[in-house]
């Protein structure tokens, strides 16, 4: 165990941060450390070690932004000081990154990442996987029939819905 002169939720009696030698080896060669300090209890959090980050909250009552540890300080601000704390909602990401399209005869659905057969070795996709073929305006350029049916089936014209059902009966999902 190594003793650093920082405060954290892993503190000893002299308020110094205790990290293991394995954790020290992970951060030893780094030029910069991402450190968060709680605004009230002054506990320290080293984000480079993968520790859970403290929450950033904005108090409408005091018009100040606080960084609070979840253990005690958050509850103190709400219940004792009567702060009106609000946290920004993080931007939702897709569940996994979309694989880049392959150069020839394979592509990936932009929603679910499913691999789709292309239209030969020209690098183009088949019409059934092209949203503009179905009369749909979307930012996605390649969609599998499963994603098309779940999200855009009601917005298709009657003729396109018939064609879509014909593709489903053939088993192109």
Distance CA 130, CA 63 (A): 49
How confident is the model at residue 38, as a pLDDT? Answer: 77
- pLDDT tens digit at each of 173 positions of the chain: 444 544 444 444 445 677 788 888 877 777 777 777 777 777 777 776 777 777 777 777 777 777 777 777 777 776 666 777 767 655 666 666 655 555 567 778 888 888 888 777 776 788 888 888 898 888 888 888 998 889 999 999 999 999 999 989 988 77
Distance from first CA to last CA of the chain, Å, rounded?
56
How confident is the model at residue 92, as a pLDDT? Answer: 64
**DSSP readout, the chain?**
-EEES--BSSB-TT--EEE-HHHHHHHTT-S---EEE-TTT--EEEGGGTPPPPEEEEETTTTEEEEE-TTTHHHHHHHTS---EE-PPPPP--SSPPPPPPSSSEEE-TTT--EEEBSSTTSPBPGGG-GGGGT---S-S---HHHHHHHHGGGS-HHHHHHHHHHHHHT--
Domain locations along the chain = 2-86, 106-170
How confident is the model at residue 126, as a pLDDT? Answer: 84
Distance CA 76, CA 118 (A): 58
Q: Looking at the whole model, is its pTM more than 0.95?
A: no
Residue 13 Cα to chain centre, angstroms: 38
CA-CA distances (angstroms) from residue 107 to 26, 41, 103, 124?
38, 52, 8, 9
Q: Which residues pair with 107 in a beta bridge?
A: 116
How confident is the model at residue 7, as a pLDDT? Answer: 41
Nearest to 88 by CA among 119, 114, 66, 62: 66
How confident is the model at residue 55, as a pLDDT? Answer: 75
How confident is the model at residue 1, as a pLDDT? Answer: 41
How confident is the model at residue 9, as a pLDDT? Answer: 45
């Amino acid at each position: 165990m190594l003793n650093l002169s920082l405060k954290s939720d892993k503190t000893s009696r002299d308020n110094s941060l205790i990290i293991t030698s394995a954790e020290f080896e992970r951060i030893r060669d780094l030029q910069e450390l991402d450190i968060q300090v709680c605004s009230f209890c002054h506990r320290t959090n080293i984000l480079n070690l993968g520790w859970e980050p403290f929450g950033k909250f904005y108090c409408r009552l005091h018009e100040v932004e606080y960084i609070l540890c979840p253990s005690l300080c958050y509850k103190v601000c709400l219940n004792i000081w009567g702060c009106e704390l609000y946290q920004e909602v993080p931007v939702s990401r897709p569940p996994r990154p979309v694989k880049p399209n392959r150069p020839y005869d394979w592509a990936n659905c932009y929603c679910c990442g499913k691999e789709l057969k292309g239209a030969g070795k020209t690098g183009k996709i088949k019409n059934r996987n092209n949203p503009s073929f179905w009369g749909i305006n979307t930012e996605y350029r390649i969609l599998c029939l499963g994603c098309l049916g779940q999200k855009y089936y009601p917005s298709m014209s009657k003729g396109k819905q018939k064609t879509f059902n014909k593709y489903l009966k053939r088993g192109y999902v």
